[in-house]
Amino acid sequence: MNLHKLVLVSSSVIAIGIASNAQAAVTILGNNTLAQSCFLAAEVGGDAKIGIETCTDALTTQPLSVKDRAATLVNRGILRAELGDSAGALADYNHGIQINNALGEAYVDRGATLIAMKKWGDAIDDIDKGISLNAKRPYIAYYDRAIANEALGNVRAAYDDYKKAVAIEPGFTLATEQLTRFRVIKRSDGT
């Protein structure tokens, strides 16, 4: 009897730092210019330290709606994560989620920080929650979850998540590049 089994092989585990580049800022709905500036700092980059100061000023000096306060905390968390302040980032994500637990991006971004901390299972749990809450950029969620799955040795799940990220966002080069590391081989030994 000649059995064939589909086996996926990744050529190497990717650098964990890539996850921190795949985060999604949360849009501010009100007319608060400091909170908007905080969002832009998290969304498009720039000097993260100045962005954190802007976010903190928005949180401490401006009246914000509940949604905008939660979003500003998450955006400040992204900037803190960018600077390698995982504890500060987690504190901001946790506070933002406590205020508004329906922000899918908050869970995905917290998952990315957990990946940087090598807390793979917790990262997957958060990212799954973000996906279930319809995070606005699901391709980022699938990409980040692929990183965590691959780190746990779940190669097939990682491959499927990278493929899903590309299916959702065909121009997402981070995921496309990761897929080039995989080979599909058929084995006839039944293992």
- Tens-place pLDDT, residues 123-175: 999 999 999 999 999 999 999 999 999 999 999 999 999 999 999 999 999 99
- 93 and 37 in a common domain: yes
Does this model's pTM top 0.75? yes
19 has pLDDT over 80 = no
Tell whether 49 is covered by a domain: yes
Number of domains observed in the structure of the chain? 2
- Interatomic CA distance for residues 164 and 148, integer angstroms: 15
Residue at 115 is within a domain: no
Do 6 and 64 sit in the same domain of this protein? no
Task: Verify that 95 and 60 share a domain, yes or no.
Answer: yes
- On whether both 11 and 36 belong to a single domain, the answer is no
7 lies in a domain? yes
Answer yes or no: do 185 and 149 share one domain. yes
What tens digit of pLDDT does each residue of 20-54 get? Answer: 345 667 666 656 689 999 999 999 988 999 999 99
pLDDT at position 168 is 98
User: Mind listing the pLDDT tens digit for each residue in 79-120?
Assistant: 999 999 999 999 999 999 999 999 999 999 999 999 999 999
Residues 143 and 87 in one domain: no
In this predicted structure, the answer to whether residue 77 has a pLDDT above a threshold of 80 is yes
Specify if 180 maps to a domain. yes
Q: 3 and 59 in one domain?
A: no
Of 36, 70, 102, the position where a domain reaches its end is 102
Query: Which band of pLDDT confidence, cut at 50, 70 and 90, is reported for residue 190?
Result: low
Query: Based on the domain organization, do 137 and 152 belong to the same domain?
Result: yes
* CATH at residue 140: 1.25.40
Range of the domain at 56: 27-102
Q: Based on the fold, state whether residues 35 and 12 are members of the same structural domain.
A: no
Each as own residue / partner, the long-range contacts of residues 120-127 (CB below 8 Å, 24 or more positions apart, any chain) are 120/148, 120/149, 120/151, 120/152, 121/148, 121/152, 123/148, 124/148, 124/149, 124/152
- pLDDT exceeds 60 at position 3: no
Beta bridge partners of 79: none
Domain match, 35 and 86 both: yes
Is 114 within a domain?
no
